[in-house]
Structures are given as structure tokens and as C-alpha cells.
Structure 1
Amino acid sequence: MKKPASVSALTDFGRVRLSKTFFMRDFLFSDIASIHGFNNVPDNPDRAIAAGKRLCEELLEPLQEAFGRIAIRSAFRSAEVNGYGNEMQRAGKKGYNCASNESNLAGHIWDKLDASGYMGATACIVVPAFWDRFQAPGDWQKLAWWIHDHLPYSTLEFFSTYWAFNIQWHEQPIRRIDHFIPKGCLTKPGIENHEGSHKEEWTGIVEACKA
């Protein structure tokens, strides 16, 4: 598929179904692109679709099945959009929270392979039903450990607003959870809490979210 360069081509691209309930259009909105007039579309649509399908089928659909509707805050970014966002962040501009293009390859930049030649895709999401029921300090860890024990994620990064988090699918998953509540690392390979079940941390959260 060629890079969409017309309204009709972008419409067709947006209609691509990535999984049972998600379409490509769900992941294309960007605040940066909207404000600054960028076209947030991939240079390599086929790779963006392939990575997006894995993200949706293996991570987002199971999350939504367990906890109810998830809300997408930020997902695919073109290299142009992400690069501009990182430039503004480095200049100290408020609201621009983009890492460098190099570190976002196979992350928010779905259509480009990372430095090791692997494919990946990231979305920043909120689980509304979880936030509504679990707002005490540290409650985000319940969801983090549930994902760690149930889903083949690569990286998670949690934030304080609505317990939003970046969730990444990657061909070579890292299995690392970071957070900015304040900044730190919950788990990563090689530390004591990484292996085994963490059921005591998340028992009851699915039932509470469906109640």
C-alpha cells in the first residue's frame, strides 16, 4: 500500500480493521499534528498495519475484554510528528512529551523498524473502569501486575493522570514496567520481583471493574 496522499486514500487506510473492535483510524489522531498542520500518516502503511494488528490482537483486545472499553490517548506518530514533538520538548515547551525518533522506532513510530531491525507498536491508553474504582496512591500497580502476569507486552510506562500508560508490543519483548508517579522502575528482567505470579497484587480488580 502506498502512503495515503488523498482524502479517499486516507479514508481507505483508516478503514483497515486491525482486530475485532479496532480500526486504523482509531490510532491516527495526534494533538501535535492537529495544532501544527502535520499529516500523521505512515510512510510505510503496510508495516504500520502489521505492527498495529499485533498490538491490538495481543494486548488491547484482551485488556478491553477484561476491563471494558479502553480509551486511546496517543498511538501512531509519523516520524515527522514525533520528531517535531521531541524538538519542542527539548526546547522546554509544555505539552510536548515525545522521546527522540531513535528511541521511538517500533514504539510510537509503528512503520519503522528499530535499530536492531525489529517491529513494534505503542499506544498510550486509559482504562476508565479501572480509574473509576482504583484511585488510591499506588493503585496503578494492580493493573501493571495484572498485565505483567497475563499479556505478552514489551514495555509499560504509567502516568499519574487517570493512570494512563504506554503499552508496547514488540517482536523481542523486554518485559519492563516504568512509571512517572514519581519516576522509577517497577520491574525489569533480572530483579527479584520480575518472575512468578503476582496474583496477590491484582486479585479482584477485573471483577470490580465489571461490577
Structure 2
Amino acid sequence: MRKPQTVKALEDFGRVRLSESFFMRDFLYSEIAAINGLSNLPDDPDLAIAAGTVLCETLLEPLQQQFGRLSVRSAYRSPQVNEFGNLHDLNCSTNAKNYAGHIWDRRDTQGRVGATACVVVNRFIPHYQRTGDWEAMAWWVHDHLPYSDMEFFPRYAAFNLQWREEPIRQISSYIPPRRGKLTGPGMENWAGAHETAYAVMLKELD
């Protein structure tokens, strides 16, 4: 598939079904692009579709099946949009760091394919606002889904959820007071199950 150049081509691209619940159009909106008149479309639509399909099928669909509707906060970024965000301090890392992350249509420096979406689990918001316990969601995903990286943010406990070939499986947070890495390879809490960390959450959301 070529990069969309017409309304009809973009309509067709946006209607590509990545999984049972998600279409490509769900992941293309960008405030940076909208405000600054930038194109947020992939140069390699086929690679973006391939990476996004695995993200949706292996991470977003199971997460939504368990907890209900997800809201997509940020997902695909074109290299142009991501670079603009990085240069203007708009919470975007460099393009090289975002290949196989928010930039779905570029392999990373090691040739791996990947895709990231920042999502909010709507039913989780009241639990998080009452308790501040974002770690419950983090540990549930860690125990159940084949993610590569998660980053949690203070508002609504939104988090970047990445699928990538050869996953790292690490979790970090920008939520005080526990900013930094929660777990990752080599840490004592990385292996095994963590049911006690999310048992209360599951009971409340049942």
C-alpha cells in the first residue's frame, strides 16, 4: 500500500481493521499534528498495519476484554510529527528512540518491528483516583500480556503500552512518589506471579 495522497486513499487506509475492535483510524489523531498542520501518516503503511495489528491483537484486545473500553490517548506518530514534538519539548523522545515505538512504520536500530499506544483503561480511573495505585494495572499486564515496555503517567494512569519483537518487559512510571523503574530484567521482582498486587483491583472491577 502506498502512503495516502487523496481523501479516498486515506479513507481506505483508516478503514483497515487491525483487530476485532480497532481500526487504523483510531490511532492516527495527534494534537501536535492538528495544531501545527503536520501530516501524521506513515511512509510505509504496510509496516504500520503489520505492527499495529499485533499490538491490537495481542495487547489491546485482551486488555479491553478484561477491563472494558480503552481510550487511545496517543498512538502512531509520523517521523515528522515526532521530531517536531521532540524539538519543541512536547513529550516526544527522539525519532531513533521511538522507531518501533510510537513510530510504527520504522524498524528500530536492531531491525525489530514494534508499535506503541498510550491508553486509558476507563473502568480503572475511579480505583486509581481513590487509591493512587497504578501498580495494580502494571502488574496485571506484566503477568498476562506479551508487552515489551510500559510507561505510566499521572493523569488517569494513562500508560504507553508497547509491543515489539524481542520484548524487554520493563515498567516505568512518572507518577509520584514512585517515579522511575518498577521492574525490568535482572530485578528481583521481575519473575514470577504478582497476584497480590492486583487482587483488590480485580475484585473492585469485577
Same fold flag (TM > 0.5): yes
**Residue of structure 2 in register with 1:92 after alignment:** none
Indicate yes or no: 2:86 matched with 1:86.
Answer: yes
User: What is the distance in 2 between the residues matched to 1:206 and 1:172?
Assistant: 29
Return the offset for 1:209: 2.2
Identify unmatched segments of 5+ residues in structure 2: none
Cα displacement string for residues 162-210 of structure 1 (whole angstroms, at most 9, x for unaligned residues): 0000000001100000000133100000010000010000114234224
- 1:1-211 aligned at under 5 Å gives the runs 1-89=1-89, 96-182=90-176, 183-210=179-206
Secondary structure at 2:115's aligned position in 1?
strand
Q: State the SS of the aligned residue for 1:111.
A: coil
Report how far residue 134 of structure 1 moved.
2.9
The count of residues paired between Structure 1 and Structure 2 equals 204
Query: TM-score when scaled to structure 1?
Result: 0.94
Whole-angstrom CA distance in 1 between matches of 2:204 and 2:18 = 29
The structural deviation recorded for 1:39 is 1.2
Q: Which amino acid aligns with 1:43?
A: D
* Unpaired stretches in structure 1, ≥5 consecutive residues: 90-95
Which residue identity does 2:182 align to in structure 1? Answer: L
Separation (CA, whole Å) in 2 of partners of 1:119 and 1:172: 9
Quote the Cα distance in structure 2 between the aligned partners of 1:105 and 1:138: 31
Q: Could you tell me how far apart the structure 1 residues matched to 2:130 and 2:94 are? A: 33
Paired residue secondary structure (1:66): helix
TM-score, scaled relative to structure 2: 0.96
Q: Tell me which amino acid in the other structure corresponds to 2:79.
A: A
Q: Percent identity?
A: 57
- Give the SS at the match of 2:106: coil
